[in-house]
Structure 1
Amino acid sequence: MLDHSSFLMTLGGISIFMLGLNFASENLQKLTANRTRDLMASLSRRPFFGVLVGMLLTLIIQSSGAVTSMLVGLGSAGVFSLQQVMAVILGSTVGTTFTVQLLSLNVAQYGLVIFTFSFSVYFLTKNRTLKLVMAAAMGFGLIFLGLEMIGLGTEALRKVQTFTSFLQQLKENPLLAILATATFTGIVHSSAVTIGFAMSLAASGQITLVDAVYWVYGANIGTTATALLASFGGNYVGRQVAWAHCFYKILSVLFFIPFTEQFVEFVSLGSPQRDVANLHTAFNIGAAAVFYPFTKYGARLIERLFPPGPAEKQFTVKFLERGSYQSASVALAHAEREVLRMADIVLSMVKDSCTILKDESLDLEHDIRLRDDRVDLLNREINLFLVRHMEDGNLVSQQRMMRVIDFSTDLESAADVVDNNILDLARKKHTLKLEFSKDGWTEIQEIHRAVVDVVEMSVSCFQVEDKELAAKIIECKREIRQLERRLREAHIERLVKDRKDSISISSIHLDFLAEFRRIVSIVSNHAYELLKDTDPYHVLPRR
């Protein structure tokens, strides 16, 4: 085989390998989407369970780098703590060994057969689940086909002086081997490609098992590049997760390097491909076992090394992190204080919703979205906190806890209306460079003031549990419904008169009115609950 042909065969094999890996990963994720969400939701349990979750996620996604990148995003969003994420990272490094072990089974020659059979079934079937299974199988077929091409290409490359000289340099300088393979892995975003390449070289006798172990070290360090890149543009928590993954891999390599020869002797069984795969598996399992007891301390160290900047102080609960409470009533009191703090944030979002309608402000839009994330966090923490304490209280305490949970959920829903609906409408208005008519803007301000008043009354009513105030909220809700109808009719009258300033913004104007009324409906829910047993003011609808 000519020099350029052997290089093309090797590069083509790597390309097909990566394509297959990506194809298998995408379709496995589609096939197990619900299971993946369930696994991520279960991370609130023990750290050891996080390790198992990491293993399973990597088996599903077929990429530890992709799992870690996902964790960077979740950590940035404040969904999980750094310690929980570190446990998942340990598990993901173990889970990634499955693909490499599969590659070592000497089934590369069947790659084309697997791909052809899977494609035939995929093409003929109408069943969505079977299609996804066959698509994933096609991906594995491409992986095996790519591995076979890499093997053929590297076999021919042994006759190429440039390539053999480069390999010799890597053999003579283990540090260079680690750096080169780490760089290659970082570029292709897959340690499996690097390990598969090393397996092919070992099978053809171009590198020894001792040489291959440095490829394993480099591949494990290089796979951290995916998460590091994902952390750019995120907040400090995302950076902490990415660097925790990076330091874990580097420390693991530093821990194993002094014992490299003993390590190789321990896993050597005689089959080069299996031995390289076993090196990779033993390295990741051993590193996870060594560092698992220190995840708590590692998290603290990373938090000190990468603290938040002045504008990145982490928002968290203020009244719930007080250890174990003595009674359900004390827990309830703290939860009520937290939900009032949450209500202040929602009220500020509703107030600013009118400002963002009038003038475009990217800073204000970003700030409103940040406040919505904080509301989501508080809602989640309040609900989890009260559920943990609910069984400790009596029936009255449990009912009051449910009242707090319901109000917290309503506040979160109101915040979502601002974040998901009103902001999107405002962006549409500014993108299309539309303006409200003078009368239209006056009407928007009128209903906005009424909505702010109801939200303020709703928060006060929750705090003091005043039935008279609850009745007033329900009356105001009905008045706003009538106001919205009147303003809608006034807008339509302007349309009939063919006023161009009203026609161009018509749908947006009417949608704004509907969203403001929707906020009132949401924050009024608890007022109905307060009056459902007794209705001295006769404001509830009659059956």
Structure 2
Amino acid sequence: MKKRFFCTCILFVLYTCSFAHFSIIEPKHTPSGNLQHAAVLHQIAEPLQFYVITENNTPAADVPIEISIISTPENAEHTHISDSIIYTNTQGIAQTYVTLGNVAGTYQIAASIENGSKPSFCVYTLHARASNWWIFLLLGLSSGLILFLFGIHLMSGGLQKAAGDKMRSILSSLTRNNFIGVGVGALITMIVQSSGATSAMLVGFVNSGLIRFRQTLSILLGTAIGSTITAQLIAFKLTDYSLGMIAVGGILYLFLHKPIQKNWGQAILGFGILFFGMEIMSDAMSPLHSFQSFVSLLYTLENPLLGILVGTIFTAVIQSSAAFIGIMIAFASQGLLTVDASIALILGANLGTPSTALLASIKTTINAKRVAIALLMYKVLLVLLFIGFVPYISDFIQSRTPASTPLHETLPRQIANIHTVFNIVFAIIIFPFLKQFEKLMYVLVPSKETGTEIITKNTRYISNKMLSQPAIALQLAKEEIVRVSKKIQISLELIMLPFLENNKEHLHMLETQRDEIKALRDEIRAYLLKIKFHDNSKTQLQELFVISHTLSELSHINDALTKTLHRRAEKWIERNYAFSEAEYIDIKKFHASTIQLFTASMRFFSENNIHDVFRIKDKANKQTHIALELEKKHFVRLLKQEPLEMMNSKTYLELINMFKIIGNHAVNISKADEI
């Protein structure tokens, strides 16, 4: 020992006298051991390594380095350094081990070399964790993940409410133009913040008949691109500003009263909570650096098949590829993921996305199932396209990363970029072949339906999954109302046949229509009451009133047809009555004008064309005038004591009156928007 100490002193003197200047730094090409975690009274898993270079930046060999403890938690004892003086090897590297003290907290270890008049040193930080550290790890991960997912949910809700009725116009732009479809898919996904949720919406829209399967193929490509925007936002290092965003968003949401301000406040608040949750997750994972079993497990994800499997399962469980990418970014920022593992997990995240749509397609039409299968096929093709390039992509990324920059500083951004490039490149490749892809889907998912569609009394458009999005929910309810009106128009057209043909079969058809319409009315009414309105939007509440009012007017028309006139028709057939030739001609014309008035009113409800209002008012005035003329002509015939006129007078006048009432209810539909 004395001999070694004597040699060390001689070396110090030699280096000092020759005025050689060395610098001690943290090695970049090999693990330094800095920022390790270990349990109290345990030795760190990896050695602390120091790199000494000359003035010419070449490794310096046989340079003595003095290691000392410069900071420990209060009252910490038993901190121990294996070798307090160490020597560099031919690569300029020297290493030693440290046993942490008995108190959890931060320990700082200094390494220094005598360097003439300019000594050089560097400081490493080690963290001692309590024996029950894994409990705090799980708490930190779970709470951070919950905040992260809640932030996404809150931000999505704020954006959807801020978009408001624009969601309606987005839906109306779903034309056959595939370029527009891609843009619409990306935009809706940016608002909803989940490609899985958007694809599930598309399944519902196709199932209800709002859009065609063909239109969804381009939209699905857009949803994949839209989901990458969220990942790009998450990749920005905004965790330091998360509390500021929470404060700003909270003030807007809690203290301002205008809906648009509150909605944007909610979105900003969610954005801040999202990053705050990421920071908690990242901090909670820091002890895993030195947990060798976990690090080794993560390295196994470099196997592409295993990485894809893990990414698929986790994405399917949390139902959001953007959320899983965010969790990956948190892991990568702690240096727990390699480039190869990240690429495999990204492919898995894409493959897990269709799970939401596949679940939504259960018990739906063939075309709705085709939407979910099409999305699955997209993702399978994407994985097959890129899986063979994983090593080359990894080498390219690492070659573009400066050697002086730690991988954990660049990998989070690279993860977001890879996710974006994969989906954009795939969209560009598949876009020209959408027609061929559509034909492939018809082959893979053949139609099992035969004959014409059987219209049942079940609702076709409304979906409980859309209740949280009022603009879309109201549009679906409106489509359902139009469907009800078509059924009532059938009843309106049928109602004259029992009087003209004395045939009871038409009465049975009217009874069937009555039951179907009543069931639809009750389901729609219950659905309207469940729609979750945000901030009591006046526009949406007005539209709800118009839809509800229209449903009530249609219900009155249905009662007039299937109750009052139905009973009158039964008596008419029992007594074998018949109209006179004049009555026959007049009542048919008046019935036809009533149908025209009803059709015009429902067209106004569906299209909301202001020009239809004037046409409806004009038709209503003519309807009233015709009713008076028919009553007057009938009165003249009664004075002539015509037998059929005398016998049918009560029924004839009641038909005129009921058609007039039906016309008034139809006109009331167009008046609701004026209130």
**CA positional deviation for 1:155:** 2.2
The one-letter amino acid paired with 2:253 is: Y
Larger radius of gyration: 2
Q: Is 1:473 aligned to residue 564 of structure 2?
A: no
Indicate whether 1:147 and 2:278 are aligned. Answer: yes
Query: Cα distance, 1:473 vs. partner?
Result: 2.3
Q: Verify: 1:254 aligned to 2:372, yes or no.
A: no
Over aligned residue pairs, what C-alpha RMSD do you find? 4.4
Task: Report the structure, 1 or 2, having the larger strand content.
Answer: 2
Q: For residues 422 and 447 of structure 1, what CA distance do their matches in structure 2 show?
A: 12
Shift of 1:77: 1.2
Partner AA of 1:3 in structure 2: W
Q: How do 1:97-496 and structure 2 match up within 5 A?
A: 97-171=228-302, 173-265=303-395, 269-270=400-401, 271-310=410-449, 354-355=511-512, 421=555, 445-449=563-567, 468-473=586-591
Give the length in aligned residue pairs.
397
Give 1:515's aligned residue: none
Q: How far is the alpha carbon of 1:300 from its aligned partner?
A: 1.8
**Alpha-carbon spacing, 1:168–1:312, altered in 2? closer, same or farther (3 Å):** farther
Q: Name 2:149's counterpart in structure 1.
A: 18
Shift of 1:214: 0.6
Instruction: Decide whether aligned partners of structure 1 residues 475 and 84 sit closer, same or farther in structure 2, where only a CA change above 3 A counts.
Output: closer
Q: In the alignment, does 2:668 pair up with 1:538?
A: no
| Shift of residue 132, structure 1, vs aligned partner | 0.7
Once residues 263 and 569 of structure 2 are traced to their aligned partners in structure 1, the CA distance between those partners, rounded to angstroms, is 48
CA distance in 1, matches of 2:567, 2:618: 20
* Contact kept in structure 2, 1:353 and 1:418, CA below 8 Å: no
1:120: how far off?
2.3
What's the % identity of the aligned pairs? 28
Change (3 A) 1:540 1:136: farther
Helix, strand or coil: the match of 2:439? helix
SS at 1:158 equivalent: helix
Q: Deviations over 1:44-79 (max 9, x none)?
A: 141111001111111111111111111110011122
After superposition, the C-alpha distances for 1:124-182 in whole angstroms (9 at most, x for unaligned) are: 111111011001111111111111122222222233355334313323x3212111111
Shift in Å, 1:351: 5.8
Hey, which bits of structure 1, 4+ residues long, moved more than 4 A?
265-269, 311-316, 339-353, 355-358, 364-370, 416-423, 443-446, 449-453, 474-477, 525-532, 534-537
Instruction: Specify whether residues 244 and 449 from structure 1 end up closer, same or farther in structure 2 by C-alpha distance, changes over 3 A only.
Output: farther
Alpha-carbon contact 1:69-1:226 (below 8 Å) kept: yes
The separation in 2 between residues aligned to 1:215 and 1:136, in whole angstroms, is 28
Where 2:389 maps in the other structure, the secondary structure is helix
Q: 2:208 aligns with which of 66, 77, 102?
A: 77
What is the match of residue 31 of structure 1?
162
1:423-450 CA-to-partner distances (Å, cap 9, x unmatched) read: 9x99xxxxxxxxxxxxxxxx97553355
Relative to total residues, which structure has the larger helix share, 1 or 2?
Answer: 1
**Matched residues in 1 for 2:510 and 2:195: separation?**
41
Per-residue deviation, 1:536: 12
CA distance in 2, matches of 1:228, 1:277: 26
Query: Residue 311 and residue 186 in structure 1: after superposition, are their counterparts in 2 closer, same or farther (change >3 A)?
Result: farther
Counterpart CA distance in 2 for 1:275 and 1:129 is 35
Give TM-score scaled by structure 2 length. 0.52
Cα distance in 2 for partners of 1:452, 1:60 equals 56
Q: 1:62 to 1:353 in 2, by over 3 A?
A: farther
Q: CA deviation at 1:201?
A: 2.3
| Maintained 8 Å contact 1:155/1:204 | yes
Specify the SS of the correspondent of 1:126. Answer: coil
Query: Counterpart of 1:40 in structure 2: which amino acid?
Result: L
Partner amino acid, structure 1, of 2:252? V
Q: Which runs of 5+ in 2 are unaligned?
A: 1-128, 402-409, 456-484, 496-506, 525-546, 572-583, 596-615, 633-675
Aligned-partner Cα distance in 2 for 1:33–1:210: 42
Q: Is the 8 A contact 2:514 2:562 kept in 1?
A: no
Give 1:90 deviation, angstroms: 0.3
Q: In the alignment, residue 444 of structure 2 is paired with which amino acid?
A: L
**How far did 1:264 drift?**
3.8
8 Å contact kept, 2:308–2:348:
yes
Q: Which residue of 2 aligns with 1:325?
A: none
Q: Which amino acid aligns with 1:224?
A: P
